[in-house]
Structure 1
Amino acid sequence: MSGTRTAAAKRAVLKTGRPRAAEPLKLETIDQLLGAIYEGPTESPPWQTAMLRIREVLAAAHVTLMLRPPSSDSTGVMINTGPTTAQNVESYETHFFAADPFVRLAEGDVFSAEELIGPQWLQSQYYHDFLEPIGVRHLLGADIYTKDGIECRFRITRSADAGPFSTDDKSLIKLLLPHLKRSIQLHARLDFLECERSLFAGTVNRMLLGMLSFDANGNIVETNQEARRILAEKDGIWLSGNNLCIESSQESRDLQRMLRGALAGTNDSEGPGVVEAMAVTRPSGRAKLGILVRAIPLGRWSESKQRPAVAVFLRDPEANAAQPSQELVRRLFGLTRMEAQLALLLTEGLTLDEAAEKMNVRRNTARTHLRSIFCKTGVTRQTMLVRLLLNSVLSLG
């Protein structure tokens, strides 16, 4: 008797993919799927956990999310779960995407290959040349579109042994699609913010401005490259755990007072934020470091205590910024290559005579170049030229 039930159960699995007598999915399982979908934007690759859970629940061979479908101009971006090879992925991205019949599906609908194409599906080139060799027989697809122009493709496969997708399987995917769409929109927003953050962080680094941020509990959230360089020198200031340590006792007390005041100022969401500054003596005798402490007020809807609450900026007046390229200077101000070279040497603090010697030209030649630079830039003195170059966008390059 039990052997008969086992055989019947196996036949049901082959026909529907899951045992026909199985109970409907528990709320706990659906909750886990939804949770994985909304946590997806924070993963790398995104939605990897959600794809694996869906694959397990549907007894699928592959679950694939094409965040950016391949095209003739791009290989696209795909998150894939299931047995595959780099060669299979490459063959789809470079060739078979053009033969994929699942294109521009109506949003919210879930289709099997037979529903979309009919019995001739198994005679198609896409099936014979791409899917059949990798053991795929059944294909389920849905597309997601957003008002921002995002187009994603969601695909689920099974082998011939696993059986076709059931009505319940399609209903589950249809239930998950709106949530996946919202999660994709959240991911796009987070990606935009990360791009913006990276741009500004890179600009701050190029300007040789060190920055540390502290949360409301006084723990360090982030430090940038220039801050790490300054602190690593341990010349008057260094980092010990989450504490900024200063050699001078009085300067150390001043900094701690500033940090406490800034942390207290973060609770004022209306004001511009507490700003204080001080100088730090360096035992090496080098020029003093500049420190600026700025409170970052809570946003109207802020609730996390691990968000940046205070920013500490460090400036080393003796740091050597990367020299802008002569080509950049030439294009920005319409100078010749010799004029651009002279202008850069002057911004380094060289006199006209020193610059002429370094360029291996006569002083009169350098003076002629300087007059031409004045004419093209609209300045009349060397100090004005240096100020113009230092305040231009060159430092951002």
Structure 2
Amino acid sequence: MDGLLDFVGEVYEASYNPGHWNRVMTLLCEKIMNARSGAIFIEDHQGGTRSMIGYHGLPKAVVASYRFGMGKYDYTFQAQRDEPVGQARQIIDSREVKDAHPYYFRLILKPNDIGFISGMNIYHDKEWHVGIGLHRSFNADPFSDEDIAKLRLLYPHFKRAIRIHREFHRLRTRQQTLHSAMSRFMLGLIILEPDGTVAYRNPVADALLTHHNALALAGTGIKAYYADENTRLACLIQKQAKADPREINTRNTAIGLHHPDRDNALTVMLATLNEGSTPDGGEPTNGSVALYISDSDSPLNIPAETLRALYEMTQAESNVAIALTNGLSPGQIAENNGTSVDTVRSQLKAIYSKMGVSKQQDVIRTLLSGAMQVL
């Protein structure tokens, strides 16, 4: 029992540390179930994907073939699909399968020395099918009732841990997607928590703060250069943090911030990110605030990766397109890049082809038209 309790701790560690599932399966096979190999498989019906989140003792080819959908042709997979959730048992005894399914025996079980297979479904519904499969060799004893009882005891812990694993995966995927999208945003973007703490800055915002000192980072927050503008900015941030999302007219506003070294103001538009209300239908809670920043004097801030992703440009081609849009001639671009004018002209031809245009003015017009403001 002490061994099982220690193992349960390993299961819950894997719930938030996906790389730990292989260790869980190794411990389950070697320390708990005396199995030569095994895996946790997930068939996501909504996403249309299959995977093994943890496995032990399986050839990489077997793992890869399952991910490509070959598992559905496996008799074991079909047999386990019909098992009740949480009811572990020995599913395959090769001595019984040999005559009933000779091809399966000859092509799968015998070459891989699989004499016995036990399994347990953890989830099986419209959302997904999650199960555990464990294997013993021909020379080993069948799984005993005591072995099966151990696996059943572990069912509620695997159920909770895998659900937590799935939710963490969804959060990670959502954050990665959001970060990628905001990194390509053509305006500077700063997101503030309700208490004024900076929660996020995209690369364009960092560039603008470097070149225009009307706004700067101060501790965990932000600060305008002039005291009176800083006071106004702080009031606007507080107003937006407390804005009622149902009153559309209060949800965004703007301010110009100045610095003695710059002729034009840094334009900052503020908007509340609180778009919903409390779950019980009461008053909306305070929300985070987004600051959208632009500087009319700054060069066009197009991340090179945006052009590469949108038009399949090379790094050099995207740099030439950005330099061209910022007013440099082919000669100046060649000098800055340490290349010949002929090289730049060759790169321009490739840019024209990939953007579907025929001259430099079309490149500039396309990139300045606003079509790339949000990607």
TM-score range, shorter chain: 0.5 to 0.7
For the 8 Å contact 1:146–1:181, the answer to whether it is kept is no
For residue 320 of structure 1, give the secondary structure of its aligned residue in structure 2: coil
Residue identity over aligned pairs, in percent, reads 15
For the 8 Å contact 2:198–2:222, the answer to whether it is kept is no
Aligned to 1:127: 109
For residue 222 of structure 1, give the secondary structure of its aligned residue in structure 2: strand
**Which of 216, 228, 235 in structure 2 is aligned with 1:257?**
235
Aligned to 1:147: 126
For the 8 Å contact 1:215–1:309, the answer to whether it is kept is yes
For the 8 Å contact 2:88–2:118, the answer to whether it is kept is yes
Alignment-mate amino acid for residue 245 of structure 1:
K
* In structure 2, C-alpha distance between the alignment counterparts of 1:43 and 1:145, rounded to whole Å: 23
* In structure 1, C-alpha distance between the alignment counterparts of 2:11 and 2:65, rounded to whole Å: 32
Q: Does 1:112 align with 2:86?
A: no
For residue 169 of structure 1, give the secondary structure of its aligned residue in structure 2: helix
For the 8 Å contact 1:212–1:220, the answer to whether it is kept is yes
In structure 1, runs of 5+ residues without a counterpart are: 1-22, 328-335, 350-388
* 1:103 shift after superposition: 1.4
Aligned to 1:293: 270
Deviations 1:131-182 (A, max 9, x none): x3xxx6653223443313x333422345689854332432343455466456
For the 8 Å contact 1:46–1:79, the answer to whether it is kept is no
Aligned to 1:43: 17
**C-alpha RMSD over aligned residues:** 4.9
For the 8 Å contact 1:296–1:308, the answer to whether it is kept is no
**Which of 301, 323, 328 in structure 2 is aligned with 1:320?**
301
Distance change (3 Å), C-alpha of 1:164 and 1:115? closer
Deviations 1:179-231 (A, max 9, x none): 64566566556655655555555444433133333444544333333333333
Alignment-mate amino acid for residue 256 of structure 1:
A
* 1:315 shift after superposition: 2.0
Structure 1 residues 1-397: aligned runs within 5 Å: 32=9, 35-36=12-13, 40=15, 42-45=16-19, 47=21, 51=25, 54-55=28-29, 56-68=31-43, 76-82=50-56, 86=60, 89-90=63-64, 97=71, 100-104=74-78, 105=80, 106-107=82-83, 108=85, 109-115=87-93, 118=96, 120=98, 124-130=106-112, 132=113, 138-143=116-121, 144-148=123-127, 150-158=128-136, 164-174=142-152, 176-177=154-155, 180=158, 184=162, 191=169, 195=173, 198-199=176-177, 201-233=179-211, 235-263=213-241, 265=242, 275-282=252-259, 284-285=261-262, 287-297=264-274, 299-301=277-279, 309-317=287-295, 318=298, 319-321=300-302, 325=311, 337-338=356-357, 343-347=362-366, 390=370, 395-396=373-374
What is the TM-score normalised by the length of structure 2? 0.59
* Equivalenced residues, count: 307
* In structure 2, C-alpha distance between the alignment counterparts of 1:119 and 1:325, rounded to whole Å: 56
Aligned to 1:6: none
Distance change (3 Å), C-alpha of 1:58 and 1:227? farther
* In structure 2, C-alpha distance between the alignment counterparts of 1:295 and 1:75, rounded to whole Å: 37
* In structure 1, C-alpha distance between the alignment counterparts of 2:40 and 2:120, rounded to whole Å: 10
Deviations 1:309-349 (A, max 9, x none): 4223232243333667599xxxxxxxx94579765544567
Higher-Rg member (1/2): 1
Deviations 1:221-253 (A, max 9, x none): 333333333334463333244121332222223
* In structure 1, C-alpha distance between the alignment counterparts of 2:105 and 2:365, rounded to whole Å: 74
Deviations 1:52-81 (A, max 9, x none): 664554455544222249xxxx99522224
What is the TM-score normalised by the length of structure 1? 0.57
